Amino acid sequence: MAAWLTALAGAYLLGSIPTAYLVVKRLKGVDVRTVGSGNVGATNVTRTAGLGAGAVVFLVDAVKGLAAVWWIAPALQPEPTPMFRLVCGVAAVVGHVFPVFLRFRGGKGVATTIGVLISLSPIVALTFAIVWLVVFLLTRYVSAASIAAAAAIPVGLLLDQRLPEELLLGVALAVLIIIRHRANIQRLLQGTEHRFGRSK
C-alpha cells in the first residue's frame, strides 16, 4: 500500500509540473492562463508563443505520462503490473489537469495521456492517434479530435484485451478529458469554436 501511495503522489507531482505556464512565462513574460483560450496546454501555447513552443510543451507533457509509467512505477514496485503502471499514468494526467503548483487549474490532459498510452500499449496509442488524426483532418478542430480520441481509449483497451480494471481506468481517463473539453463542446455546438489554421 505504501508503494502505491508513494507512486501516486510522485506521478501526480510529476504531472503537475506546469510546462505551458513555464514556457510562455519564459518566452513572453505573461501567464498563459490569461491569454488565448486560457488553457494550460500545447494548443494555447502554439497560439500564444508559436509552433515551436507548442511542440516543446506537447513533448514535455507527453514525457510526463511516459515517465510515470516507465520510471516511477518500476522505482516503487519491482516488475510492476500493467495495472500499477496505468494507475501511475492516470495520476500523472490528474496532476496535469489539476496541478498543485497552479492552484489546481491546469490543462486538458491530452498530451500526458498520449505519453501514458504509448508507454502502456501500442494498440491503444495507435487507436487514439488514428481517431485523433481522422477527426482533425475532417473537421480541423483540435478539440473535436481530442474528444473523439479520448472516447476511443476504452475501444483500444478492448482491442488489446486488457483487464476489466484497466478498462474502467481507461473509461475514467476518457471521461476526464471529455469533461475538461466541456467549454469546447459548447462552442462546437454554437459554431464558435476556433478552427486550426484559421484566424478568429
Per-residue pLDDT tens digits for 97-156: 999 999 999 999 999 999 999 998 889 999 999 999 999 999 999 999 999 999 999 999
pTM for this entry: 0.92
**Number of structural domains in the chain:** 1
Domain holding 105, by residue range, is 2-190
Supply the pLDDT for residue 118: 93
Q: Of 15, 189, 185, 193, give the one whose Cα is nearest residue 100.
A: 15
* Residue at 199 is within a domain: no
- Residues of the chain short of pLDDT 50, as ranges, are 200
* Residue at 196 is within a domain: no
Supply the pLDDT for residue 63: 97
* Residue at 67 is within a domain: yes
* Residue at 105 is within a domain: yes
Supply the pLDDT for residue 199: 53
Supply the pLDDT for residue 91: 96
* Residue at 198 is within a domain: no
* Residue at 12 is within a domain: yes
